[in-house]
Structure formats: C-alpha cells, structure tokens
Amino acid sequence: MKKETQMNENLDCTRRQFLKLAGTAAAVATVVVTVPGLVTEAQAAELDLVSKRQTGVYAADANPKLYKLRKSQDNPMVQKLYAKDGFLHDGPCGHKAHELLHTHYVDRSVALKALKAKGVKLKA
C-alpha cells in the first residue's frame, strides 16, 4: 500500500485516472500497430486540411481589398509611434519599447509548492 501511495504522489493522479490513461494508451497503441492504413489516411487528411488553410490565409493576406496594410512597418499609427516626436522615438529596439513590449519570466513554482503544502487545491 505504501508503494501505491508513493506512486500516486509522483504521478499526481488517482488510481482510477492512471488506469484510464494506461488503458487509453494501450488502445491507441493497438490501433496504430494493427491498422497502419487508418493512421496514415488520417494524417494525410490532416495535412491536406493544413495545406488548404495555409493557402487560404496567404491568399487573403495578398488581397489588398481585404488587408490594406500587410506590413506593420507600413502602418501609419506604428510610424507615428516610432517617429522623432513619437512615444517610442528611440526605435523598436529602444529601452522604452523593450520595457513596454517584452515580458519577463517569473518562476512561481516555489509559491505553488507552498500553497500545495498548505492543502490548497489548485485548478488545472
């Protein structure tokens, strides 16, 4: 029983969830091994769909009736921002632009572990 509890703590799931996942994985593996034609047909259909979507997006982008401004550097509002008297006059790589437009990574794992240790249940 002690081993099972330790396994559940490492996986962070109930026994029922683990068995459901293992059963699903086994079923998928069986289908992939026994019906290879089915998988390749599905993959081909997905690739065809992706290709059609890509073609449609590129065609829409190239249509000047739909998008008059295809490049951000041609946008008059962006040009005003980066002009000499603009808000971001030091350019797109300047300090102010970097400060406002870039995010920074914050490690929250220690705080999460502390909450879990207190017994707080977190939503996934």
Contact between 79 and 88 (Cβ < 8 Å): no
Would you state the pLDDT for residue 38?
A: 64
For residue 77, what are the contacts with CB-CB under 8 A and spacing of at least 6?
none
Residue 45 lies in a domain: no
Residue 106: domain span: 69-124
User: Angle between the 2-11 and 15-34 helix axes, to the nearest 10 degrees?
Assistant: 70
Q: Residue 84 sits in a domain of what CATH number?
A: 4.10.260.20
Residue 59 lies in a domain: no
Would you state the pLDDT for residue 48?
A: 86
Per-residue model confidence as pLDDT tens digits over 61-104: 888 888 888 888 889 999 999 999 998 999 888 999 899 888 88
Q: Which long-range contacts (CB under 8 A, 24 or more apart) does 63-69 make?
A: none
Number of domains in the chain: 1
- Asked whether the predicted pLDDT for residue 18 surpasses 90, the reply is no
The pTM of the full predicted model, rounded to 2 decimals, is 0.38
